[in-house]
Amino acid sequence: MLVMDLDRSERGRQRRRATNGRLMHCCCICGKVDLWGEGWSTWCSEKDLDDEIPIPKFCSPACREHGGPKARNVTEEMKRKAKDAEWREPKIVWKEATDRQKYAEAKYLQQRDRESGTPGEG
């Protein structure tokens, strides 16, 4: 029986990072997820960045032009989807259950079956 290794598993959603540890960003127009670099731009204030508000990010001048002046053509849904794409689910590490954990699980299952009246009771 496998159980989650709480010490070695990540908790909560994690921001996507490249192999060099830098944060990844998502273009709200084309959905490209990449490192911030040449050609990337945005319309936002530093407060928006600090408050982690979904902001329009553009990977190229073409995407920025599609977003329009001050990103008027970028909807809230587009910004939300882009922000969600920058995150990933945590990586879970599994380990073999200890005898104590196996016993606790068996005890719980027996109690649950007894209370629900499941056929096959001893």
Domain ranges of the chain: 1-13+90-122, 17-85
Q: Is the pLDDT of residue 63 over 70?
A: yes
- Which is nearest to 28 in space by CA: 49, 52, 59, 62? 59
What pLDDT is attached to residue 74? 93
Q: Which residues pair with 57 in a beta bridge?
A: 42
- For the stretch 37-55, pLDDT in tens is 999 999 888 788 778 788 8
pLDDT at 119: 59
Per-residue confidence (pLDDT) for residue 48, from 0 to 100: 82
- What pLDDT is attached to residue 122? 47
pTM of structure: 0.68
Q: Provide mean pLDDT across the span 63-79.
A: 92
- Span 17-22, average pLDDT: 93
Count of beta carbons in the 10 Å neighbourhood of residue 82: 24
| Helix segments in the chain, DSSP class H | 46-50, 61-67, 76-85, 99-116
